[in-house]
Amino acid sequence: MGITRRLFGGTALAAMLLAGGAAQAQDSVRIALVVKALGIGFFEAAAKGAEEAAAELGSVEVIYTGPTDTTAEGQIEVINALIAQNVDAIAVSANDTDALVPALKKAMQRGITVISWDSGVAPEGRQMHLNPSSNPLIGNMIIKLAADNLPEGGEVAVLSATTTSTNQNIWIEEMNKVMGDYTGIEVVGTVYGDDLADKSYREAQGLMQTYPDLDAIIAPTSVGIVAAARAVEDAGKVGQVNVTGLGLPSEMAGAIESGASKSFAIWNPIDLGYSATYLAYELATGDAEAAPGAEIPMGRMGTLTLDDNNEGAMADPFVYDESNIDEFKSIF
């Protein structure tokens, strides 16, 4: 049976890992699920999926860990501690594309399997990357969700996470590529809430003040979309400004009910954590190899096919609205 442990950053973490490592059962595969920051619902759900995969695979220990804030420095500290513990695999959702590479290269040099998932690292810092969905499909989805409710066109703005968030930046780039498909839709600005609820709330308020005719806020981040919906409700602009993007059903149910959000999308984070753990296991045990064209099993999620950059997509994003939110809000 898998064992999920929550660990914290700092010097104490390294000491705890070193002390605890000696006591670990050596016949289990230890897979560290490193998240952007602890305390975020999306990643808590991913940890449930990792537990599910561990239970299916057997003899797998999942170490759920991450920094206390969304910084590359915090993740590097966590990764160095995991190297010292000599875990079998590290699966990381990165806060920065390039900053983690030296630490992750050191891990691979020590024989540790390294993959990224959700938010990737540069190819030299990992063996493969698991995208939650196809980046072009996600980019198209977030602008489509806004445009579907603006048949006559209108002004939309983007509230993203951090300026260095790999996944958000790629999705916005892909969104901009298909803007010509949505006649009359104008993106008037992009701001960053750093995946902090209070800052995201203030940035959303700022958007509505700067652009009084704003019709929609697109937040491709589970923290930002909730904060933006609350800002719209508090500003009395429900029905005027539609909040959409990527969010969790459990956290967005109230916004759907209030009308602050007509619809949003997300992949299933439980499936994502499940798939990342399964893939890390396959590579760490030598049952699969990360190479272009490789097809790697993901249990109940099927098979991941890697492209020339050793990247693959798990599944298409799914749209949530008033017709299905009650079904999913208790799941994640």
Span 275-322, pLDDT tens digits: 999 999 999 999 999 999 999 999 999 999 999 999 999 977 889 999
CATH of 29-132+269-315, one of 3.40.50.2300, 1.10.238.10, 3.40.50.920, 3.40.50.10320: 3.40.50.2300
Q: Which fold has domain 135-266?
A: Rossmann fold (3.40.50)
Domain segments of the chain as ranges: 29-132+269-315, 135-266
Q: Tell me the pTM.
A: 0.72
Summarised one tens digit per residue, pLDDT across range 66-125 is: 999 999 999 999 999 999 999 999 999 999 999 999 999 999 999 999 999 999 999 999
Strands (DSSP E) found in the chain: 4-7, 29-34, 60-65, 89-92, 113-117, 128-131, 154-160, 185-192, 214-219, 242-245, 263-266, 295-297, 303-305, 311-313, 318-321
Same topology, domains 29-132+269-315 and 135-266? Answer is yes
Which residues are CB-neighbours of 238 under 8 A, at least 6 positions away?
A: 232, 258, 259, 260
Which residues are CB-neighbours of 28 under 8 A, at least 6 positions away?
A: 59, 60, 61
